[in-house]
Structure 1
C-alpha cells in the first residue's frame, strides 16, 4: 500500500475562543490542518485569520467554510473530499472544543505509518471532569456497535478522535444518506467494520471543560439519543442481512495489536 499522507481535520460549529486554542495546538504538531467551519454564527472562524498562511506556524492551515450548518458528519464529508483532491490519504479528526489532546497526535500518526490499511480509533481515558451521564450512556451505543459488527473491535463508538483512511470513508458516505450529524461517529465505525477495514484502538485522554473554562457542547440529550436509537435500529437489520458473510470473514486481524505507548 502507498505511503500515508495524513491531515488533521477539525470540524467546528460555534466553539468560540476554544477553536483558536485547538487549532494552535494542532498546528504545533507539524501536520497540515484543515478546519471546516460548519455554518458557525459566533465569529470564531475570524480568530483563525492570522494563523492562515502564517510564516511562524510549523504547519499549514486551511479553512473551509460551509453554509448553513448541516452537521458534523457532513462537515467531515466535505473535509475529506477536499483533502482527497489534495492527495491526502488519511484524515485525523479531532473536535474543536478542547476535548481531544493534540499531544496524542504523534501516537496516531505512528500507527498510521505502520498500518495505513487500518482506521485508528481513540479509546477515551476519562478523568474526573467527565459527566457520569455521558460516560455511562455511551456503553449502550458501544454494546450495539459491537453486536452489529460481530465483535470487530470498536472499543468506543462515540469518541471523535480518529484516523480514517479517506477512500473507504468516502465509500461509506456514498452508500448511505445517513451519518451526516451526531450519528456520524458510530455509524461510520460500524460500516467500516462491515467493509473489513481493520480497526486499531488507541487509549486517548479526554477532558470535559466546564462552562467557566469556556466549554461548549452541541450534544442534545433527547434529540441525539432518538437519532442514535433510530441509527442502531437500521444498523441492526443491516447486520442481520450481512451475518453469514461476517461469520465467514472472521475477526479483525489487528484487534489485539498493542498501541506504541502500551508496549
Structure 2
C-alpha cells in the first residue's frame, strides 16, 4: 500500500478540520495522516521544525491529495505554537473548530467523526477525549495523568475535565486563539492541560468522550519526546501558575458554578 489516501475521501467540511501538530514522528506520521484522511476532510499537518524527513514525505502526499495541507515551520517551537499557527490560518479561511491529534499514531482516527458530531451538536463546548489505556501503557504515565487531572479539576472548581493531558480533542477556534494570545505560555508540552483549564475559565464547557490510546514500542515505530524530569517540571510550574490564577478567579468561577445549575 502506498502513501496516498483512499480514493473515496469524506465530504469536505467548511467549519471543522483535523489539525495534526508534528515533530519528528518518523514514518508513523504517514499512517496517522492516511487514517485521518479516511475519516475526515480536510486534514492539516503543521510540521514543527522536524528534521526526520517527514516534511518531504507529507508534501509528497499532499501533492496527490487536495484534502491534505502541510504547513512547515522552519524551527521547532513546541506543540502549542504549532497548534496556534494552524488555528490562526484556519480562522482566516473560515473554519470554526479544530480537532487536534498527535502524529505518532497513538490517537484513534476512527473516532474523528464521532468527536466532530459531538462538536457540531454543541459548538460552544470543547470535546475532550478521555483515554482508555491498554495494558502496554506505562504505569508512571498513567499515574502522572491522575495527578494532573486532580489539579485541573481543582483549578476549575470541578467543571468536569475528564482528562487534562489527552490531546485528542475538538476546540472552538476563536476562544482558544483568544486565550493563547492573551499570555505567553501554552506553547510546548503544557499546551493541552492549560488549554483545557483556561477555556473552562473562559466559560467553554467540557464534553468528555472515551477514546482508546495506544503506546507503540520502538520496534513498532513508536516515538516519544516525553522527558520525565523536564516535562514534569514544566507541568508543576504550569499548575502552580494556574492555581494562583484560580485563586484570583475564584469568586467569578463560584458565581458561574452556582448559577449555571
| Partner residue, 2:9 | none
Asked if 1:41 corresponds to 2:51, the answer is: yes
Matches within 5 A, 1:175-190: 175-190=182-197
Q: Report the Cα offset of residue 112 of structure 1.
A: 1.2
- Mapped to 2, the partners of 1:12 and 1:253 lie a distance apart of 38
- Mapped to 2, the partners of 1:251 and 1:108 lie a distance apart of 29
Asked if 1:235 corresponds to 2:242, the answer is: yes
1:198·1:253 contact (CA, 8 Å) conserved in 2? Answer: no
Asked if 1:210 corresponds to 2:217, the answer is: yes
Matches within 5 A, 1:75-90: 75-90=82-97
Q: Report the Cα offset of residue 4 of structure 1.
A: 7.5
1:193·1:199 contact (CA, 8 Å) conserved in 2? Answer: yes
Matches within 5 A, 1:127-138: 127-138=134-145
- Mapped to 1, the partners of 2:217 and 2:259 lie a distance apart of 38
- Mapped to 1, the partners of 2:217 and 2:125 lie a distance apart of 34
Asked if 1:119 corresponds to 2:126, the answer is: yes
Asked if 1:155 corresponds to 2:162, the answer is: yes
Q: Report the Cα offset of residue 111 of structure 1.
A: 0.4
1:14·1:42 contact (CA, 8 Å) conserved in 2? Answer: yes
2:40·2:112 contact (CA, 8 Å) conserved in 1? Answer: no
Pick from 51, 59, 74: which aligns with 2:81? 74
Pick from 110, 127, 145: which aligns with 2:117? 110
TM-score, reference length from structure 2: 0.92
Pick from 238, 257, 260: which aligns with 1:250? 257
| Partner residue, 1:18 | 28
Moved more, 106-115 or 3-12: 3-12
Aligned residues: 249
Pick from 170, 178, 188: which aligns with 1:171? 178
| DSSP 3-state at the match of 1:236 | helix
2:128·2:206 contact (CA, 8 Å) conserved in 1? Answer: yes
Q: Deviations over 1:34-86 (max 9, x none)?
A: 100000001012222332142xx5x6011001121000000000010011111
- Mapped to 1, the partners of 2:200 and 2:114 lie a distance apart of 22
- Mapped to 2, the partners of 1:101 and 1:45 lie a distance apart of 22
Structure 1 ranges of 4+ moved more than 3 A: 251-254
Pick from 28, 36, 56: which aligns with 2:38? 28
